Structure 1
Amino acid sequence: MKFILGKDRQQTCLFPVSLEDSIESDNSVRSIDQFVDSLNLAELGFRSDFIENGPPAYNPSVLLKLYIYGYMNRIRSSRQLEKECRRNIEVMWLLESLAPDHNTISNFRKDNGKAIKKVFFATVQIARNFGLIGATLIAGDSTKFRAQNSKKNNFNQKKIQRHLDYIDNKLEQYNKALEQSDSENEKEEIKKNIDKHQGRRNEYEKLNAQLKASGEPQISTSDPDSKHLIVRNNITEVAYCVQSTVDADHNIPFDYLVTNKNDSKAMGEMLQRAKTILVTNTFTALYDKGYHTGSEFKTANQLGIKTLVAIPGIGRASQAPDPNYNSEHFKYNKENDTYSCPQGNILKSNGSTYKARNYRFKQYKTNKCKTCPVRALCTTSKVNGKMIQRSEYHQYIETNAQSVLQNPNAYKKRQAIVEHPYGTIKRQWSFDHIMTKKTMQRASADVGFMFIAYNLTRIWNIIRKANTCAFKAYKSFIRFIVSILMGFKVVYEENSENKILVYS
């Protein structure tokens, strides 16, 4: 049987092929090259002035091109990117045969978190200029990315105390053994163990002092900004929580924020950022039940933004023996500030407000519960009878509930909109952890490159598919993108409070 034969490795070529001829005209690497060259990196915040001592530095555009190419091809490791510079012909073309070492590559991502965020906003501007962001329906959600910090190196008060108790118990055993021992060799060995455990005890005492000084419920030693978070159900990881906001028209993310907190207090801030970026508040925002918080509804109302947030189920402790007597079936009378129960009895407040952890509330009850024939169906309380709590944010919660019931089809779109980027990034690209450590800003740089790669890939695929005939000459398409981007005059920037600032 005959096989296709390769060329002789010793054979020389009379007409060598240049790097330019080796890269097809429709190769996406050309788009990356044009995209980065169209940006004013100094204005975006990339460092461009270097001390003249020693060898010259690499132009920031070289490293930015390398990282965008890497993330678009599922390569994030600085050492792996260093290898690609010497063996990947596309990278050789893109970097003009430059080959920075892994430390230079790694430091670029580590030191340019804010500038990388602005490059992401440049991709958002391209999408807006192409009409790919409708700004009428958006969806927000979060996902957890594992941090470079093991559970073993994450501590809370109970965990530290558990270690201290264990060490104290061991020290007590060693001290007793030291008193009972007659052998000098054995005593020396016991003293070594005592010194070792005492040293460990001192380390945990320092951790305990750091934890108390920080005012935080937990502390991570390898990556201080990362926190122990619930990933799903009862599974936990030391991770970062990444909030994102996605436009419904083409599933393009136009904002992201790396945090170490859960979703309950995130919606208001993300809506404020969305309003600033989209320069409008006429859109509808969709969120899941993790964002169902009264204070956040109030913020949305103040911003003039319509929200549809899934309604969480009633907790088991708040359930009535018969669901027909749950508090949702009690009608509120705003004029009299009273509730009427399904039996027609009136529940009144004593006028006092009580403070919970994050809100204030009133209590409503009636002495009619004592003689009510359906008391056993309504409440399990044997003393006070049925009691209803109404928080200061209840009117906003009720407004949301009515909106969800009136727009069931709109809310059903949420998952399809916002899960699309996360599904691509985490499932298809296998980016499920943060590559950097030490600060949240460095983690943000890693996440920023993920969203830059996603947006560029998404935008170029949409436009190529929609204009297959018009853009057969791909270089013309690239120039078209660049001409669009050159008109980009709006710069988004985050301040220290994660608020978006806009400059024309």
Structure 2
Amino acid sequence: MEKTNTQKDYSKNCNVYQLVLPVNTEILIPQNDSVRLLSQILEEIDYRNLEKAYSHLGRNPVVSPKTLFKILVYAYMNNIYSTRKIEIACKRDINFMWLLEGQKAPDHNTIARFRSGKLTEVIEDLFYQFVKKLGELGEIEYKNIFIDGTKIEANANKYSFVWKKSTNKFETKLQEKIKILINKINDKFGKQCKRTIKDVLIAMGR
């Protein structure tokens, strides 16, 4: 009995998309792209505390902890917080592929376990090192303090205002502020989060 193929033929124009080897993502990323600066800075960070969270008895992770951290930071810089969207970016976005350096794109479960598990205990230390490196390179300064909020004066009390001293006193609580910001990002898992990694860096630079 003759079989009828009902599947549409998507290969009739295949010659248009012939693969040319070698595929080198290095030449596709501009020298002044922010992903290069990010990678350079994160290469100089000490990851020993993060590596301690992994067992040395089992098999090696498909994607190294350092690379996963790079992926997360770059995703946050681009307002990507959903682990599923990060997974898609690793498969489709040339900058994420460049960060992977030939490693297999992590799935969303791997990213979620890393973010909510392995990274939790060392996130403060890693971001402290990150901001310190940015300061050493002159990419950020510590001259200004930015308050994330809006104050609207009510007609019922026109003398309501905030003294400068009441904002300065919170500078000593830098580490606690970092914890709160990171936890807020984690609490927004799977939702649209308005807080970006830039907000974290500004807060840490107080």
Does TM, scored on the shorter chain, surpass 0.5? yes
| Structure 2 CA distance for aligned equivalents of residues 109 and 15 of structure 1 | 35
- 1:116–1:13: structure 2 CA closer, same or farther, 3 Å change rule? same
The structure showing larger relative contact order (alpha-carbon pairs under 8 Å, at least 6 residues apart) is 2
Using the size of structure 1 for normalisation, the TM-score is: 0.28
Q: Which has the larger radius of gyration?
A: 1
Q: In the alignment, is residue 436 of structure 1 matched against residue 179 of structure 2?
A: no
What amino acid is aligned across from residue 451 of structure 1 in structure 2?
I
What amino acid is aligned across from residue 52 of structure 1 in structure 2?
L
Q: In the alignment, is residue 40 of structure 1 matched against residue 46 of structure 2?
A: yes
What amino acid is aligned across from residue 117 of structure 1 in structure 2?
E
Q: In the alignment, is residue 28 of structure 1 matched against residue 34 of structure 2?
A: yes
Asked if structure 2 preserves the Cα contact closer than 8 Å seen for 1:47 and 1:60, the reply is no
Greater strand content: 1
Q: Say what the alpha-carbon RMSD is for the aligned residues.
A: 4.0
| Structure 2 CA distance for aligned equivalents of residues 131 and 434 of structure 1 | 25
CA drift at 1:451: 3.4
CA drift at 1:143: 4.7
- 1:128–1:21: structure 2 CA closer, same or farther, 3 Å change rule? closer
CA drift at 1:131: 8.5
Q: In the alignment, is residue 82 of structure 1 matched against residue 90 of structure 2?
A: no
Which residue among 450, 453, 469 is the counterpart of 2:196? 450
CA drift at 1:70: 0.7
| Structure 2 CA distance for aligned equivalents of residues 26 and 40 of structure 1 | 25
- Aligned partner of residue 39 in structure 1, secondary structure: coil
- 1:435–1:9: structure 2 CA closer, same or farther, 3 Å change rule? farther
Q: In the alignment, is residue 96 of structure 1 matched against residue 104 of structure 2?
A: no
Asked if structure 1 preserves the Cα contact closer than 8 Å seen for 2:39 and 2:99, the reply is yes
CA drift at 1:450: 3.0
| Structure 1 CA distance for aligned equivalents of residues 84 and 57 of structure 2 | 26
Asked if structure 2 preserves the Cα contact closer than 8 Å seen for 1:78 and 1:105, the reply is yes
Q: Counterparts in 2 of 1:49-448, with a 5 A limit?
A: 49-53=54-58, 55-57=59-61, 58-97=63-102, 98-111=104-117, 112-129=119-136, 130=138, 132-135=140-143, 138-139=144-145, 141-143=147-149, 267=167, 270-273=170-173, 434-437=184-187
CA drift at 1:56: 2.3
Segments of structure 1 that go 5 or more residues without pairing to the other structure are 1-7, 145-230, 234-265, 277-432, 459-491, 493-504
Segments of structure 2 that go 5 or more residues without pairing to the other structure are 1-12, 154-165, 176-182
CA drift at 1:232: 8.3
Asked if structure 2 preserves the Cα contact closer than 8 Å seen for 1:78 and 1:106, the reply is yes
Equivalent pairs counted in the alignment come to 164
| Structure 1 CA distance for aligned equivalents of residues 22 and 139 of structure 2 | 44
CA drift at 1:52: 2.9
| Structure 2 CA distance for aligned equivalents of residues 141 and 453 of structure 1 | 10
CA drift at 1:39: 0.6
- Aligned partner of residue 133 in structure 2, secondary structure: helix
- 1:102–1:125: structure 2 CA closer, same or farther, 3 Å change rule? same
| Structure 2 CA distance for aligned equivalents of residues 92 and 105 of structure 1 | 15
| Aligned structure 1 segments of 4 or more residues deviating by more than 6 angstroms | none
| Structure 2 CA distance for aligned equivalents of residues 133 and 27 of structure 1 | 21
Deviations 1:455-502 (A, max 9, x none): 4xx9xxxxxxxxxxxxxxxxxxxxxxxxxxxxxxxxx9xxxxxxxxxx
- 1:141–1:9: structure 2 CA closer, same or farther, 3 Å change rule? same
What amino acid is aligned across from residue 133 of structure 2 in structure 1?
I
| Structure 1 CA distance for aligned equivalents of residues 95 and 134 of structure 2 | 26
